[in-house]
Amino acid sequence: MIRMTELVRNALVCVAVSGSLLVAATSANAQDANTWQSVKKAGVLRCGAAVSPPYVMRNPSTGEYSGAFSELCRNFGEKVLKVKVEFVDTNWDNIVAGLQSDKWDLSLALNDTLERRKAISFSTAVTPYNVTLVYNKNNPKVPKDIHTYSDFDKPGFTVAVMSGTAQDKAISGVLKQSQILRLPGVDETRLALMSKRADMVADDVSTNMLLTTAHPDWAVVFRPNPPLAQQQICFGVHKDISAADLDVLNNYINQQVKSGNVDRLIDTSVKAVLAQSK
pLDDT recorded at residue 275: 86
Q: Please tell me the distance from the alpha carbon of residue 274 to that of residue 278, in angstroms, as a whole number.
A: 7
pLDDT recorded at residue 22: 39
C-beta separation of 102 from 39 below 8 A: no
Element (H, E) at 57: strand 57-58
- Which segments in the chain show pLDDT lower than 70? 1-33, 278
C-beta separation of 77 from 84 below 8 A: yes
C-beta separation of 57 from 51 below 8 A: yes
Same fold, 33-127+232-277 and 130-230: yes
Q: Please tell me the distance from the alpha carbon of residue 36 to that of residue 34, in angstroms, as a whole number.
A: 6
C-beta separation of 267 from 210 below 8 A: no
> pLDDT tens for residues 178-193?
999 999 999 999 999 9
- Residue 203's nearest CA partner among 121, 102, 273 is 273
C-beta separation of 78 from 85 below 8 A: yes
From residue 1, alpha-carbon distances to 13, 78, 105 in Å are 18, 67, 58
pTM here is: 0.79
C-beta separation of 253 from 189 below 8 A: no
pLDDT recorded at residue 11: 44
Which class would CATH give 33-127+232-277? alpha beta
CATH-assigned architecture of domain 130-230: 3-Layer(aba) Sandwich (3.40)
From residue 191, alpha-carbon distances to 49, 146, 187, 204, 224 in Å are 21, 23, 6, 17, 23
Question: Which residues partner with 58 through β-bridges?
Answer: 65
- Residue 165's nearest CA partner among 145, 188, 182 is 182
Domain chopping of the chain, boundaries:
33-127+232-277, 130-230
Residue type, 112: D
C-beta separation of 240 from 258 below 8 A: no
